[in-house]
Amino acid sequence: MEIRQLRYFLDIADTEHLTQSAQNLFVTQSTLSHGLRQLEQELGVALFDRLGRGLKLSQAGAEFRVYASRALQEIEAGRMALADLGGLQSGKLKVGAFPTFLNTVVPFTVAAFNRAYPKVKVEVQDLRAGAIEQQLLDGDLDLGIAFHPAQHDEIEAEVLFEERLLLVVGPHHPLAARTRLAMAELAGLALALLPRVFATRRLIDDSLRQAGVLPQVQVELDSVESLLGVCRYGDLASIVPERAARQAPDLPAIPLVEPEILRHAGILWRRGASRSAAAREFAALLRATPLD
């Protein structure tokens, strides 16, 4: 079994099309087909079901995909370990970050890392918490920045920081002059929130339930930036993380109490996986990033 065969297999698993994968990998279609056949012969199973001109992962292929991804990640970690001997003079670092962290704490860290190690390529993906954990498990990321604690036992999480969630309103909203607000006072307030697929929304719902409030959610939007925009140009209020609220200084941000809503950010790793020097150094810089 050769590394190139694993790369062929994983790209085809993504595209489900030989022609597209051949273009992605800069090889001929015949070379790609031959490499795939060799891999299937060695494993003794069909990794794909042939459907006309397309391909679809077989049950065996779906199972093997997880291990192939992890194998390539370990090989890349080994290469990075060798690069470590040269002082991080090459290699690649893949990071997954939850959207609000990507727009607040991550840019400072990426810039600092690039200044220190300009020859290491950094790829940061904007992902939801569940996708970050899954890609760590699949071996597609070196580390993640999401919520603590993690949802999977195979994911190891260390607390990075905690932050409050604040009520944000427009400058002319009736609550704009308030300096704090009890959660019970949100009853009947028209809100714009993230959808329930977001962990932050589930945290908000739990806190509202604890306060005995049935929220009046009139709008759901997929990004905190769009929620802030709705507050700026309309009559709705929203509940957003404190660091995100700081990105909109023109909007009043009101602390919520009774109960206060807190969420915890963490650095996520796949438990037991090798950590390259690049990943370790990026994490160290992240811990040192000014958070206030």
Residue 225 contacts by C-beta under 8 Å, 6 or more apart in sequence?
103, 244, 247
CATH for 164-262 is: 3.40.190.290
Over range 7-35, report the average pLDDT. Answer: 89
- Asked if the model's pLDDT at residue 79 lies above 90, the reply is no
Over range 117-130, report the average pLDDT. Answer: 90
Question: Which of 146, 151, 150, 141 minimizes the C-alpha distance to 161?
Answer: 146
Over range 5-33, report the average pLDDT. Answer: 89
Over range 134-141, report the average pLDDT. Answer: 88
If DSSP codes are grouped into helix, strand and coil, which group holds residue 97?
strand
The answer to whether the 66-160+265-288 and 164-262 domains have the same CATH topology is yes
pLDDT at residue 80, as a whole number? 64
Regarding predicted confidence, which is higher, 257 or 147? 257
What are the tens digits of pLDDT across the range 261-290? 998 889 999 988 888 888 999 999 998 877
- Model-level pTM greater than 0.85? no
What are the tens digits of pLDDT across the range 222-237? 989 999 999 999 899 9
If DSSP codes are grouped into helix, strand and coil, which group holds residue 78?
helix
User: What's the CATH architecture for 66-160+265-288?
Assistant: 3-Layer(aba) Sandwich (3.40)
Over range 239-257, report the average pLDDT. Answer: 93
- Asked if the model's pLDDT at residue 84 lies above 90, the reply is no
**Domains of the chain: which residue ranges?**
3-57, 66-160+265-288, 164-262
Burial label for 159, CB within 10 Å (0-12, 13-18, 19+), is: exposed
CATH for 3-57 is: 1.10.10.10
pLDDT at residue 292, as a whole number? 56
| pLDDT, the chain, mean | 89
Question: Which of 159, 179, 158 minimizes the C-alpha distance to 167?
Answer: 179
What are the tens digits of pLDDT across the range 100-112? 788 778 889 999 9
